[in-house]
Amino acid sequence: MEGYKVKAYRVIYQNDVEISRELMNNDTYAPTPQIVKRGTKKAEAAKPSKPDENKDKEKDKEKEKEKDKNKPN
């Protein structure tokens, strides 16, 4: 992970207008070592979901809802 710097300010507003800004804290975070694995194998493309199966599942759910509505209590 890369290192970074952070500055924290206290900002005072009056009637939605900034009237003062005071630096409260100034921190520096060192980078942390990390291992990145890289290979020579090409990445596989994501397989698309089968739209027919998804449509069938949606239709089944709709049919179940209709059956539940038509059932006498």
Where would I find the H helices in the chain? 51-70
The pLDDT of residue 1 is: 72
Beta bridge partners of 9: 23
Return the domain boundaries, the chain.
1-32
Could you report the average pLDDT of every consecutive run of 10 residues in the chain (73 residues)?
92 95 95 84 74 66 72 61
The pLDDT of residue 18 is: 96
Sign of the C-alpha dihedral computed for residues 35, 36, 38 and 43 taken in this order: positive
CB 10 within 8 Å of CB 25: no
φ/ψ (deg, to 5) at 9: -115, 150
φ/ψ (deg, to 5) at 12: -110, 130
The pLDDT of residue 60 is: 77
